A and B are shown apart, each in its own frame.
Chain A
Amino acid sequence: MAKAAESSGEPGTTSPRPLFAGLSDISISQDIPVEGEITIPMRSHIREFDSSTLNESVQNTIMRDLKAVGKKFMHVLYPRKSNTLLRDWDLWGPLILCVTLALMLQRSSVDSEKDGGPQFAEVFVIVWFGAVTITLNSKLLGGNISFFQSLCVLGYCILPLTVAMLVCRLVLLAEQGPINFMVRLFVVIVMFTWSIVASTAFLADSQPPNRKALAIYPVFLFYFVISWMILTFTPQ
């Protein structure tokens, strides 16, 4: 009696098979090891957006914005069809460019109020109201670009003309003459074409195809006026 009880308590022996003897043969644990942590996996880079930009240093904030502006400058200088300017629009770049351009175009002499070149405020107003008018025109014609995206693109595409202004001011330090004028004319024409090509690459797709020319012509006029202001600039 005791012998039979003992033999039933031991599975897998050579004695006749007990009730749950084959359980150990179902060796799940040998084929597929069940291992690992039973914890919620932590994401390795959690950025706490809600509080960290307030706590970070000023240098970080400024550098981040400057990098974004610089990236867009690169997109303008090498225009190809991309959405970067449209997706992450910002108005810092246009502001910097407009202020630089207006400062350089400002006439220095005080006596020629009536017959001189544009003042700082005039350039500022022309650039911003020109950009707003072109944006309104584009939207009224049925374009599917938002107001600030269009302002952003138009403002950033002034970059080649600002570079042209810098070059013109440097060239004007040399002695005046027809060669001087020819160099300035050439530089302004090249930069004007560059601006038009850059802005067309970004803006043309937002208009229906039978109205593209109607939307591009005001852009052409806008940059033509700015180029004219740059070309006729004479230091007093």
Chain B
Amino acid sequence: MAAADELAFHEFEEASNLLAETPDAVTTSGSGQLTPQGHVAVAVDSGGSYGAEEEVEESDKTALLQEKQQPGFWTFGYYQSFFDVDTCQVLDRIRGSLLPRPGHNFVRHRLRNRPDLYGPFWICATLAFVLAVTGNLTLVLAQRRDPSIHYSPQFHKVTVAGITIYCYVWLVPLALWGFLQWRKRVRERVGPYTFLETVCVYGYSLFVFIPTVVLWLIPVPWLQWLFGALALALSAASLVFTLWPVVREDTRLVAAVLLSTVVLLHALLATGCKPLPLEPLAPPPQATSLPLNLLPPPTPRSQVT
């Protein structure tokens, strides 16, 4: 986004900032046909474009006529508006999180200011279950190599993994959003993201960990570190590229601290997910205190990572 913006004219940047402030407005009129639901799902080749202005916006019919009437907080329709996505849109967003590019802001380009809760919720659920399953499989494979390890289907891992991941995807974006709102007075032009957009970014950025966790079954240490680094790089890059336009106008110190905190928390999560090398202990009663491949449960017997 930085390089493209320097080349762009001033009015384009104004337009994109105006778009940022009023997400319901329509900037360009493409040849989009209105489906019965009023959405246009157009695959846009966004390589090297100036930004949001040249892409065909989803022309919502109600937004053309009036401000969209938000249903009340207690009605079912309010929550239904967060699940207003199609299969191709979800797949497109996942692809966008897997391949972050420096000029492309995930919120503006992929979400188009229409966040959804389907992606984050089910990606977190999948990640929690995949973590538990692969943890189990790791134990099985280890037991095959070394029969002294006591095997047991460690079912409590599902609970621990689920709670950790869901808390991460909800509390960290909450803190981030609160911080950005607090700093809003420093920035003149670019508005901050809404809470749901932040949750969406975090949720989709966790998708890259799902294949990584499966690949971590390969018991080669340097390969595991390589996969871990790759996944962390992709995921953190997606987050940083999304946050950069918002913190760019802040003081350098604040921007650096914020971005490094985000990356650090993400790295902590990745480390927590990574399986630790299992050391074969000879006596079986001690084998139950093997380092699990999750944040250890708070029992005195478990080893501290």
Contact = CB atoms under 8 A, between A and B. Distances in A.
Interface of A: 112, 114-118, 122, 137, 139-142, 210-214, 217-218, 221, 224-225, 228-229, 232-234
Nearest to A133: B125
9 closest A-B pairs (Cβ-Cβ)? A232-B153, A140-B83, A115-B152, A210-B86, A213-B87, A117-B153, A118-B155, A115-B154, A141-B83
Given A115-B288, A140-B79, A212-B87, A228 B126 contact: no
Interface residues of B, number: 27
A188 to B, nearest CB: 13
A184 to B, nearest CB: 13
23 contacts: A116-B153, A117-B152, A117-B155, A118-B153, A118-B155, A137-B83, A140-B118, A142-B80, A142-B83, A210-B88, A211-B85, A211-B86, A213-B87, A218-B122, A218-B125, A221-B129, A228-B129, A228-B133, A228-B136, A229-B153, A232-B153, A234-B151, A234-B153
Interface of B: 76, 79-80, 82-88, 90, 118, 122, 125-126, 129, 133, 136, 151-156, 288, 297, 299
Contacts of A233: 153
Contact of B122 (A122, A217, A232): A217
B155 A140 contact: no
Contact of A232 (B76, B84, B136, B288): B136
B115 to A, nearest CB: 14
Contacts, number: 68
Given A116-B152, A221-B125, A211 B79 contact: no
Given A116-B152, A116-B154, A234-B153, 7 more contacts: A114-B154, A115-B288, A141-B118, A214-B90, A228-B136, A232-B136, A232-B153
A112 B152 contact: yes
B107 to A, nearest CB: 21
Contacts of B80: 140, 142
Contacts of B90: 214
B87 A214 contact: yes
Contacts of B86: 210-211, 214
Contacts of B133: 228
Nearest to A228: B133
Contacts of B126: 221
B122 to A, nearest CB: 6
Contacts of A139: 76
Nearest to A218: B122
Contacts of A116: 152-155
A229 B155 CA distance: 9
B85 to A, nearest CB: 7
B158 to A, nearest CB: 8
Contacts of B297: 114
A225 B129 contact: yes
A224 B126 CA distance: 11
Nearest to B82: A140
Nearest to B150: A115
A120 B88 CA distance: 39
A214 B83 CA distance: 10
A12 B125 CA distance: 100
Nearest to A213: B87
Nearest to B155: A118
A211 B87 contact: yes
B74 to A, nearest CB: 15
Nearest to B151: A234
Given A217-B122, A218-B122, A225-B129, A114 B87 contact: no
Contacts of A122: 155
B129 A214 contact: no
B92 to A, nearest CB: 13
Contact of A137 (B87, B88, B118, B151): B118
A193 B173 CA distance: 38
Contacts of A142: 80, 83-84
Q: Which of B86, B151, B152, B153 has the most CB of A within 10 A?
A: B153
